[in-house]
Each structure stands twice: as structure tokens, then as C-alpha cells.
């Protein structure tokens, strides 16, 4: 009598475990979609935005844009912005640069991942050209200046006076041969 109940309970527990395993794998793409729709997590555009043709530059308003850079420990890179902050007018097309140096004795292939704070500003910060759009391969001891061209949308909430753009450089997964 207890054996059929144990089998039923075991089957139910296997179904619950299978459901939660599938749910765990589905969380990553669901989170990405949620972040894109809501601007959570400070995500910015992952591909180049079209260069604005008729932007209205708001000369009466300034927004401070701060630039940060991080690399994963042990990857042998130094990443830094050429300017740590700048004052920009919303609607103006702005160009700045980041500098990366490979301090390792071997080639490095990686990609920079951007993040914006406050998260509410992410939808109003468009990158037209960015080194983060593609993998970067650096030879040993190579130093490279990488451009960043962006626009802060004039529709940005006037209460937001400072935007922080942060890049973290990650090593690309090694290709299997």
C-alpha cells in the first residue's frame, strides 16, 4: 500500500525538480527581455544607434556624464577613459575615447559590457559608435584608443543631472578546436 504512494510522491518530486530546472534556464533570457523593456540594470543599446539627423540640442541644460572602467581580475588588461567626466548638452553628438592596454604576455580577446546609472537614464543614452559592439583582440603589450560616440536624448528627465557610464571588460570564451 505504501509502495504506490511512494512512487507517486517520487514522480511528483521529479516533475517539480524538472520544472524548476527548466525555469532556472529560462530566467536568463526572461531577465534580458525585462531589462530591455524597462531599462532595468542600466543596459544600453547593444548595437549602433543611427546617427541623429535633426536633434534638438538643449543649450540651456547640462548633463554631467561620468566614465568608469573595470577589468576582470587576472586578465592582464588596463582600461581607462581619456576623460573621467564631461558636461554635455542633451541632443549633442559627443565623442570621447577609452584606452586599453594589454599587460599580459599573450594575445587577449574580450568584450566590454556597458552599464548606465541611474537606470532610468539608460533609455535616453544612445551609443552611435562604441568599442563594446564587437570583440576586441589585443596583441601582447598593445595599447589601443577606442572611440565612443553617444547622444544623451533631450527627453531625459530634467531631474537627472548626472549619468555614469561604466564598462567592464570580460575575456571572451575560448573557442573549442
**Any idea how long the chain is?**
177
Q: What's the predicted TM-score (pTM) here? A: 0.69
Classify burial at 130, counting beta carbons within 10 Å of its beta carbon; exposed 0-12, middle 13-18, buried 19 or more.
buried
pLDDT in tens, 16-50: 888 878 777 776 676 666 665 555 554 555 555 55
pLDDT digits (tens, 9 = 90+) for 122-176: 889 999 999 989 899 999 999 999 999 999 999 899 999 999 999 998 888 765 4
Amino acid at each position: 500500500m505504501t509502495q504506490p504512494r511512494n512512487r507517486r510522491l517520487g514522480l511528483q518530486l521529479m516533475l517539480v525538480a524538472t520544472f524548476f530546472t527548466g525555469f532556472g534556464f529560462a530566467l536568463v533570457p526572461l531577465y534580458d527581455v525585462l531589462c530591455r523593456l524597462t531599462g532595468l540594470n542600466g543596459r544600453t543599446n547593444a548595437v549602433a544607434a543611427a546617427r541623429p539627423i535633426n536633434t534638438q540640442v538643449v543649450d540651456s541644460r547640462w548633463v554631467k556624464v561620468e566614465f568608469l572602467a573595470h577589468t576582470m581580475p587576472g586578465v592582464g588588461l588596463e582600461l581607462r577613459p581619456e576623460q573621467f567626466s564631461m558636461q554635455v548638452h542633451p541632443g549633442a553628438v559627443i565623442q570621447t575615447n577609452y584606452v586599453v592596454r594589454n599587460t599580459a604576455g599573450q594575445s587577449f580577446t574580450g568584450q566590454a559590457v556597458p552599464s548606465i546609472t541611474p537606470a532610468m537614464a539608460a533609455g535616453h543614452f544612445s551609443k552611435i559608435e562604441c568599442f563594446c559592439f564587437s570583440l576586441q583582440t589585443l596583441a601582447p603589450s598593445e595599447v589601443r584608443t577606442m572611440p565612443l560616440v553617444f547622444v544623451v536624448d533631450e527627453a531625459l528627465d530634467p531631474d537627472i543631472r548626472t549619468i555614469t557610464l561604466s564598462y567592464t571588460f570580460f575575456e571572451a570564451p575560448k573557442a573549442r578546436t
